[in-house]
Amino acid sequence: MIEIKELFDLTHTQAADYLSAFRYPWEALEGIKQMILDLGEKLPVDEYEQRAEGVWVHKTAKVFPSAYLGAPCIIGPETEVRHCAFIRGSALVGANCVVGNSVELKNVILFDNVQVPHYNYVGDSILGYKSHMGAGSITSNVKSDKSPVVIRDGEHRIETNRKKIGAFLGDYVEVGCNSVLNPGTIIGRNSNIYPVSCVRGIVPENSIWKNGGVIIAKNHEA
């Protein structure tokens, strides 16, 4: 449940070829910047406008005047980048996405139809198709002691050897308002996170993370 093929439908991202070369999503973080630069050079010029060096915006996308687009980044078709959004760089934003007011993106892949609409920080993360982060929810991408992030799958520990890892949201994940996704959090497809949650570890697909970190299967919700 923590592998790329288990979390994401790769038909909904321009990064499909890139991601398919990896087993685990955190392995893909290191090369996102170069992947975007390579991809940008191949984009059809009749569909994408190059607004600055390393910055490509689809002609149907809407970018508000107060938004900042840092290089490299690609903004996909029909996507909205709203007021005061801060795309710090190394961001691949898919089609029909919403990057809302005061949202910050850094070293991320957003699949098509992702919504990060209000006051979100998303760093060193991958958000799957139609995933949504409620207002104020963030990915925490560095541990307080600055040590490398360890992914814990039950009793199995996977050493990532990376100090900066945010979260990986499978397709159709819903994250409630003001939640914090701790470094290395993985949320399986079709799962929901209650508002104001502090999430860590692995949330299985088709699950609900409730108050106090209780996880239940969706079909067993009381």
With a CB cutoff of 8 Å and minimum separation 6, the contacts of 41 are none
Check 58, 118, 132, 220 and give the catalytic one.
118
Catalytic residue status for 118: yes
Residue 134 and residue 9: Cα distance in Å, rounded? 22
Residues found in the chain: 222
Closest by alpha carbon to 199, among 69, 36, 190, 188? 188
Residues 6+ apart with CB under 8 A from 86: 67, 68, 70, 102, 103, 104, 105
Whether the CB-CB separation of 78 and 60 falls below 8 Å is answered with yes
Cα 209 from Cα 29, distance rounded (Å): 26
User: What is the C-alpha to C-alpha distance for residues 57 and 49, in angstroms, rounded to an integer?
Assistant: 5
- What is the end-to-end Cα distance of the chain in Å, rounded? 25
Q: Which residues are catalytic?
A: 118
